[in-house]
Structure 1
Amino acid sequence: MIDYTPLYAGLQHIPELRTWLATLPHQIAEGLSPARWGDLPDWQAVLEALPDITPSSSEIASEVRIGSAGDITAEQTAQLESQLHRLHPWRKGPWTVFDTFIDTEWRSDWKWDRVAPHLHDLNNRLVLDVGCGSGYHCWRQFGAGARRVIGIDPSAKFVAQFYALKKYLGLDKPVDVLPLGIEALPDNLRAFDTTLSMGVLYHRRSPLDHLRELRETLRPGGQLLLETLVIDGGAGECLVPEGRYAKMRNVWFFPSTATLESWLRKVGFTDVKTVDLDRTTVEEQRKTDWMRFESLVDFLDPEDHSKTIEGHPAPLRATLTATAP
């Protein structure tokens, strides 16, 4: 059921991306290798076991809602929920699938409401979403008018979750999630009208290299939307945790917004602006029946939610926009 044939056909008609076809099928095959992902056969079995239901309607502009309760029988609902739970944990959403509400760990719709007003009009734009997870924001971008959305994330489970939902949203829709990191993209691609990187920068050992990689995905004049963890502070200030941050191990740099703006200018971006600052709350990120592991409340000082459990400043997220040269 994971079939990228429509994507390959679509890229034939985009000159800037056509040359990627020489390597892309092999990259995807490596990204979905059972040798790398031992649980992949189980996730594929979930996709095969999903009930065949045709939704009467779908909504992706104001929320992600697939079909209605009247489209599905009680038996099919039980089958659907059972299979979707096998893809636990569900991080980004929420999703309403017929009579089933997937209450994900993150209220990604809240983030979309914060960042969407700062995007250029997405109508007919070619969009890249870096670190897209299971593709929630990809669908919202398509719902906002994008002509094609390509999300990349190296987790094969996120790809399986994406295809579980694409089965009902439309396998022919020009929205795709690829099991790749940004390093898999051709150098100096210069193809996308809009590139988003949300919740990725602090996981990169070299943040300036990541910003340069993002710049190279964009056509001249294209828009970057960058969302990441930051700290309060002035120009030049940056937190580099020696150990964990909010129990995360793979974290590196937390700059101030002034520092981050200077980094973006240093790699060549123009029109750099910080457009939103928001403190993550335990209402926005929390454990649910669809994500039963630890979540934000477990990562904060139980006596003082302004600090992480390690004593660092609690998560503060900044959204910045910039223009590619």
Structure 2
Amino acid sequence: MNYDWDWCEAYGDHPLERWLKELPQQVERVWREQTHGDIHKWREALARLPDIPVSKVDFRSAKVQAGEMADCDDPTRSQIVDALQQLHPWRKGPYRICGIDVDTEWRSDLKWDRLVEQISPLKNRTVLDVGCGNGYHLWRIHGEGAMRVIGIDPTQLFNMQFEAFKHFLGNGYPVHLFPLGIEDLPAELKAFDTVFSMGVFYHRQSPFSHLTELMGALRKEGELVLETLVIEGGDREVLVPENRYAKMRNVWFIPTVETLKGWMKRSGFSDIRLVDISTTTTDEQRSTEWMRFESLQDYLDPRNPDLTVEGYPAPRRAILVAKKGRG
């Protein structure tokens, strides 16, 4: 992977400097020592993407866009589709590339619409998105005027998908995705104005450790945007799945909103607000030609869609916003 590190030089007096000094070595180590078995196939797919000057980019529409139909001919579009399909499955999106609609499993724009008017304006902010997938929301954050947007996600396929979209844009955007987890950030970095953690919390074996890591990444009075699965109920109630939840192995804790607020308060967050709670529907998460595996409809009880196939409450997602305290 060819990363442009020149932008790091602008952060000599910024709290990010402590991480940026070691970041290139961290990223290089991942690609050298921990590469996925399909890495060569994915790299070949990236290499087959044609170089096309695009006439339009759009980071504020539901389908994040690079290029228009008129930017290339039909054979070239077929070449692009073939290359992008080698990066299947596409989970987060949607994208539009030179007239090609990449109809991803998740309509991630719907989640964005539920939160964007409820959080602090992102203009001129330095933003971290933890577990960001292929970076769809990184581009939406950039579209709101953020100064620098950094995403981290250890799934190498998602990093490749990000690079595929970025291929049509070039390096002129302050948007980055690295194959790392939040544990790879220095403790108490205190560098970001806004930190997003969306669809990550329930995958962490220690919810308090994750909240501590998120707190440490934020500057004083910075803002956390936390989106996660929740159940209905009162304070101190939490679902701990016996084995799988909606066919997922790695779901550890699903609290009620009140329980989650208590955990956040105990972790040092203040001004905690619930800004949205929604039941996930098959309009928002579904199989498509760009994600041909099982999806939400296969995770629900066919006799009762209010339950998962395991008999647990069907997925409900809450978005909470909170501030890092002054201390």
Contact (CA 8 Å) 1:230, 1:257: kept in 2 or not? Answer: yes
Q: Does 2:85 align with 1:85?
A: yes
The AA in structure 2 aligned to 1:97 is I
Structure 2 residues without counterparts, runs of 5 or longer: none
Please give the per-residue CA displacement for 1:176-226, whole angstroms capped at 9, x wherever unaligned.
011000000001000000000000000000001101110111001100000
Q: Secondary structure at the match of 2:114?
A: helix
Aligned to 1:76: 76
Contact (CA 8 Å) 1:34, 1:40: kept in 2 or not? Answer: no
Aligned to 1:312: 312
Contact (CA 8 Å) 1:89, 1:290: kept in 2 or not? Answer: yes
Q: Secondary structure at the match of 1:196?
A: strand
Q: Secondary structure at the match of 2:116?
A: helix
Q: Secondary structure at the match of 2:117?
A: helix
Please give the per-residue CA displacement for 1:162-185, whole angstroms capped at 9, x wherever unaligned.
010011133221100110000000
Alignment of 1:29-178 (within 5 A): 29-33=28-32, 35-63=34-62, 64-178=64-178
Q: Secondary structure at the match of 2:168?
A: helix
Residue 35 (structure 1) shift = 4.6
Cα distance between partner residues in 2 of 1:37 and 1:287 = 24
The AA in structure 2 aligned to 1:135 is G
Aligned length: 324
Cα distance between partner residues in 1 of 2:282 and 2:267 = 35
The AA in structure 2 aligned to 1:172 is G
- The change in CA–CA distance for 1:7 and 1:181 in structure 2 (over 3 A counts) is farther
Please give the per-residue CA displacement for 1:261-308, whole angstroms capped at 9, x wherever unaligned.
000000100001111100000111000000000000000000110000
Aligned to 1:205: 205
Residue 13 (structure 1) shift = 4.6
Contact (CA 8 Å) 2:238, 2:256: kept in 1 or not? Answer: yes
- The change in CA–CA distance for 1:202 and 1:233 in structure 2 (over 3 A counts) is same
Cα distance between partner residues in 2 of 1:169 and 1:245 = 38
Q: Does 2:279 align with 1:279?
A: yes
Cα distance between partner residues in 2 of 1:35 and 1:170 = 26
Cα distance between partner residues in 2 of 1:229 and 1:142 = 26
Cα distance between partner residues in 2 of 1:7 and 1:48 = 25
- The change in CA–CA distance for 1:35 and 1:322 in structure 2 (over 3 A counts) is closer
Contact (CA 8 Å) 1:7, 1:176: kept in 2 or not? Answer: no
Cα distance between partner residues in 2 of 1:112 and 1:2 = 30
The AA in structure 2 aligned to 1:56 is S
Alignment of 1:247-286 (within 5 A): 247-286=247-286
Contact (CA 8 Å) 1:31, 1:156: kept in 2 or not? Answer: no
Q: TM-score, normalised by structure 2?
A: 0.96
Aligned to 1:223: 223
Cα distance between partner residues in 1 of 2:148 and 2:12 = 12
- The change in CA–CA distance for 1:276 and 1:35 in structure 2 (over 3 A counts) is closer
The AA in structure 2 aligned to 1:20 is W
Q: TM-score, normalised by structure 1?
A: 0.97
Contact (CA 8 Å) 1:2, 1:163: kept in 2 or not? Answer: no
Structure 1 residues without counterparts, runs of 5 or longer: none
Residue 2 (structure 1) shift = 3.4
Aligned to 1:26: 25
The AA in structure 2 aligned to 1:127 is V
Residue 30 (structure 1) shift = 2.5
Cα distance between partner residues in 1 of 2:8 and 2:229 = 35
